[in-house]
């Protein structure tokens, strides 16, 4: 993860929503299964209601027309409904909303429409046609609990834990303390600092791939607002920790001076 020269850490763009995704970890197996059961129950109820409605309204239709309407409804509720719902809610179904879960890309990016569609099409086979057996087996043997649809779509289900660890203090890497004291940090925006903080605090919960890919993106954004660059060989987590720790130290000093000034007659 170290980048010689320390001035540039990767591509200049950031994936939309990184600040949210970094606040997540892979969901537990039991929680994922419960969310899936909720979603399936909702879809079964909708299918039952749609079948009853077609039978009542389509009494005058011939058998072919009735069958065509029923097939369209099944496709709409089994594939179209979860695809649209997850795309609009950026990775959440009703079951996932109830249990605080979300679908994200393996790089931490929000779920896209094509990914939601791939998961829904795969679910039609592995969950509906095959009674969920392939999904169950794949989820059990995979470390992150990904089912076949997740591998096809490049996604995984994660647990949202927003708001936790907000008060944790990020320590200054000793070897960067001197550099940080002389660094210019005034160009660092609150959003960039918040994103860096989330990455550092969740570093141990991320996969190796996510640690690297997110690290270089976040560090590159922060590096463009900080000068001079850190010493050669500085890794993104070290660099971000140093910037955040120094930023906090300076804010505490400013607050102390302000309070001292207010106490003076």
Task: Give the pLDDT confidence of 69-84 residue by residue, as tens digits.
Answer: 888 888 899 999 999 9
The answer to whether residues 38 and 98 touch, using CB atoms and an 8 Å cutoff, is yes
Strand partners of residue 158: 26, 102
pLDDT of residue 18: 35
For the entire predicted model, the pTM comes to 0.55
pLDDT of residue 2: 44
The DSSP element (H or E) to which 161 belongs, if any, is: none
Span between the terminal Cα atoms of the chain, in Å: 53
- Range 192-219 average pLDDT: 86
Q: Is the dihedral of CA 170, 14, 90, 34 positive or negative?
A: negative
CA distance 118 to 49: 26
Reported as a single tens digit per residue, the pLDDT across 128-183 is 999 889 998 998 888 788 999 999 999 989 887 544 444 477 899 999 999 999 99
The answer to whether residues 86 and 118 touch, using CB atoms and an 8 Å cutoff, is no
Residue 23 pLDDT level (bands cut at 50, 70, 90): very low
Average pLDDT of every residue of the chain: 82
Task: Please report, for the chain, the start and end positions of each structural domain, with discontinuous segments joined by +.
Answer: 24-160, 165-263
Residues recorded for the chain: 265
């Amino acid at each position: 993860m170290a980048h010689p020269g320390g001035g540039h850490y990767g591509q200049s763009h950031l994936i939309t929503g990184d600040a949210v995704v970094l606040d997540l970890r892979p969901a537990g197996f039991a929680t994922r299964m419960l969310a899936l059961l909720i979603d399936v129950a909702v879809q079964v109820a909708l299918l039952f209601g749609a079948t009853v409605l077609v039978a009542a309204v389509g009494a005058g239709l011939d058998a072919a027309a009735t069958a065509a309407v029923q097939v369209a409804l099944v496709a709409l509720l089994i594939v179209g409904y979860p695809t649209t719902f997850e795309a609009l809610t950026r990775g959440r179904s009703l079951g996932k909303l109830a249990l605080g879960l979300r679908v994200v890309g393996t790089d931490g990016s929000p779920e896209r429409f094509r990914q939601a569609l791939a998961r829904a099409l795969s679910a039609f086979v592995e969950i509906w046609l095959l009674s969920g057996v392939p999904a169950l087996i794949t989820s059990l043997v995979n470390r992150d609990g990904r089912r076949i649809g997740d591998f096809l779509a490049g996604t995984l289900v994660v647990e949202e834990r927003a708001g936790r660890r907000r008060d944790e203090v990020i320590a200054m890497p000793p070897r960067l303390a001197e550099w940080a004291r002389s660094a210019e940090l005034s160009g660092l925006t609150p959003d960039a600092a918040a994103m860096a903080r989330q990455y550092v605090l969740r570093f141990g919960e991320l996969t190796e791939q996510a640690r690297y890919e997110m690290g270089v993106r976040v560090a590159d954004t922060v590096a463009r607002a900080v000068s001079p660059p850190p010493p050669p060989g500085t890794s993104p987590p070290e660099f971000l920790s140093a910037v955040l720790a120094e930023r906090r130290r300076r804010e505490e000093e400013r607050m102390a001076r302000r309070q001292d000034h207010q106490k003076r007659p």
